[in-house]
Amino acid sequence: MAIDRNEIEKIAELARIRIADGQMDDVTERITEILQMVDQLQAVDTGSIEPMANPLDAVQRLRPDVVTEVDRREAFQAIAPAVEDGLYLVPKVID
Amino acid sequence: MHTLTVAQLMQGLRDKQFSSTEVTQCLLQRIGELDAQYNSFITVDADRALAQARAADQRLEQGQTTPLTGIPVAHKDIFCTEGVRTSCGSRMLDNFAPPYDATVIKQFHDAGAVVLGKTNMDEFAMGSSNESSFYGAVRNPWDTGRVPGGSSGGSAAAVAACLAPAATGTDTGGSIRQPAALCGITGLKPTYGRVSRLGMIAFASSLDQGGPMARSAEDCALLLNAMAGHDPLDSTSAEAPVPNYTEHLGDSLEGLRVGLPREYFSEGLDAATGECIQTALKELEARGATLVDVSLPHTQLTVPTYYIIAPAEASTNLSRFDGVRYGHRCDDPKDLHDLYTRTREEGFGDEVKRRILVGTYALSAGYYDAYYKKAQQVRRLIKQDFTQCFDEVDILAGPTTPGPAFGLGEKSDDPVSMYLEDIYTLAVNLAGLPAMSVPAGFVGGLPVGLQLIGRHFDESRLLNVAHQYQQHTDWHLQRPDSAAGGSN
């Protein structure tokens, strides 16, 4: 499937990755090549075959709904780019 | 001392022929002297390694030993190590010192191992050449103008060059087996769920699996003994009982049925590589095995199937890198959107961005059924091919890669041609099977790997076959000339 520049811009926006204008053509070309390669799958008759999400067909194991985690906020925030008073700092969201 | 296997080191430490401190010092010195030509390590923490070695020596002195007491190992820089940078080969995590240890790291610690350092890798384990690392390409010890394979290229090169007797790796589409093949070492990708994924930075969660890389099958068995087991903190961890993986190494191969998937010996396989594999298969026959022609009819579809599923899962997993909680953050973001998009533009390399974009596309509204669901359906067909083969045979054997190591830069501008390098390894991950690569000869001075594929949880059989093969061949004992210098 060919993909155009507009679609790449849309996907990049969904993925929250900025792509510099100068790189857009190159990225579009590479992604198109990859999508053309994976398009081989469209020719396969998969009819009613059950999709396989886990190679052992295992299902999610559940545990009792009780607190098991210990509070490690300080250790986690020590490696954050910007924190203050126990909060993660980001640019202002609401004026 | 640097050429000794893990098994030999264990014996030597017990017999007090040398101390863990001496072995560790020797290897640290070799890393210092030789690694500039390979770039196989991202981080070496000599002080910590020597402290661990001294502590191990004390335990040895007191007779309080655990299986790997005093054995130096290297860990792929994808396993979180508390307080020690864990970069995953990415600028995104260049400043990341995790607040906890991966389960695999804990297991090696509990087994008494000494950590030499963290090895180089393709960024976020996405690559087959180790050229996508933020820390630069790794070079193949057999020819430093060539790639070591990827993504566990640093681990493979370090073991091949005798900078470490063994290392950990991870394998999402061949990332243990392919570099093991190209560097002439032995690598094992266990059954999906056999080794805990907790603290192993996620690439594609339904495919990722950690495993050992070493210079013999026996060493892989010793390492797997330490790594395998159920982890309640990993929801996909298998609860199957863990055998002693060294127990069946000595079993005879008499009566073993070895399937040869004909698709793995067809066009695309380098002729000289194919001859090495045929010779290896004759050796298995000489040991009493029967060779059986089998078919994996969906082999051609493994590359497109993998390159939808793996990027889709990667795009989800890598959404966590947002510049807020840890890792890279761009300077002076003007708003939250700018913070996310610029952090990710700067933090990720080209191949990682490509895969996130492909994965996002495959999962986006209107395309999900055509891509992701379709790939999950074909994935089942691929798994069924194996199930049918294993009704007839005990293991499958063939080449690990289509040819020996390629030149640095040869394929780095052409992602699709790089993806085709993994044609013989991808299906194993899609089906969740265990598989090994074992040194099986040389083509033009470059190593060739024999791939062995087993039934789910049948690692013992693979290790048995590989060990018996290594008892009657010496390919795994060859060392590259470039590693001949340095301390010993």
* pLDDT tens digits, one per residue of B441-462: 999 999 999 999 999 999 999 9
What is the side-by-side strand order in the sheet with B435-443?
B41-44, B114-119, B72-76, B166-170, B210-214, B186-189, B435-443, B446-453, B395-399, B257-261, B290-294
Residue B185 placed within a domain: yes
* pLDDT tens digits, one per residue of B101-129: 999 999 999 999 999 999 999 999 999 99
Q: Which of the residues of B are catalytic? A: 76, 151, 175
C-alpha angle B321-B136-B188 in degrees, rounded to nearest 5: 80
The residue among A10, A24, A54, A56 with the most chain B CBs within 10 A of its CB, best to mutate, is A56
Inspect the interface and report whether the beta carbons of B432 and A56 lie closer than 8 Å.
yes
- pLDDT band for position B488 (50/70/90)? confident
Q: Is pLDDT of B46 > 70?
A: yes
- CA-CA-CA-CA dihedral for B43, B47, B51, B54, to nearest 10: 110
Residue B167 placed within a domain: yes
SS3 B56: helix
- pLDDT band for position A59 (50/70/90)? confident
Q: Is pLDDT of B482 > 80?
A: yes
- Residue found by looking up tokens 């886990």 in the block: A54
Of B99, B301, B431, the CB nearest to A75: B99
Average of pLDDT values for B468-479?
98
Chain B, residues 53-92, CB within 8 A of chain A, namely none
Inspect the interface and report whether the beta carbons of A55 and B323 lie closer than 8 Å.
no
- pLDDT band for position B178 (50/70/90)? very high
Which tokens sit at B243? 């055998």
- pLDDT for residue B418: 86
Residue B106 placed within a domain: yes
Q: Is pLDDT of B484 > 90?
A: no
* pLDDT tens digits, one per residue of B297-329: 999 999 999 999 999 999 999 999 999 999 999
* Total structural domains within chain A: 1
B122: domain range?
6-252+435-483
| B21 within 8 A of B61, measured Cβ to Cβ | no
- pLDDT band for position A1 (50/70/90)? low
Percent of chain B with pLDDT over 70: 100
C-alpha angle B432-B467-B404 in degrees, rounded to nearest 5: 70
Q: Which residues of B touch A80 (CB under 8 A)?
A: 324-326
* ipTM of this complex prediction, to 2 decimal places: 0.96
SS3 per-residue string spanning A16-70? CCCCCHHHHHHHHHHHHHHHHHHHHHHHCCCCCCCCCCCCCCCCCCCCCCCCCCC
Q: Average pLDDT, whole number, for chain B?
A: 97
Q: Is pLDDT of A2 > 90?
A: no
Residue A19 placed within a domain: yes
The H-assigned helical ranges of B197-298 are: 217-227, 271-286
Alpha-carbon dihedral sign for residues B439, B142, B208, A51: negative
A12: domain range?
5-43
Inspect the interface and report whether the beta carbons of B193 and A17 lie closer than 8 Å.
no
* pLDDT tens digits, one per residue of B326-370: 999 999 999 999 999 999 999 999 999 999 999 999 999 889 999
Q: Is pLDDT of A63 > 70?
A: yes
**DSSP calls for B193-216:** TSB--TTB--S-TTT--EEEEESS
Q: Is pLDDT of B384 > 70?
A: yes
* Total structural domains within chain B: 1
Q: What is the CA radius of gyration of chain B?
A: 21
* pLDDT tens digits, one per residue of B196-218: 999 999 999 999 999 999 999 99
Distance from CA of B17 to the nearest CA of A (A): 42
| CATH number of the domain residue B225 falls in | 3.90.1300.10
Of A35, A55, A88, the CB nearest to B431: A55
Q: Is pLDDT of B406 > 90?
A: yes
Inspect the interface and report whether the beta carbons of A41 and B304 lie closer than 8 Å.
yes
Residue B23 placed within a domain: yes
The residue among A79, A84, A92, A93 with the most chain B CBs within 10 A of its CB, best to mutate, is A79
C-alpha angle B152-B153-B158 in degrees, rounded to nearest 5: 105
Residue A31 placed within a domain: yes
- pLDDT for residue B421: 87
Residue B404 placed within a domain: no
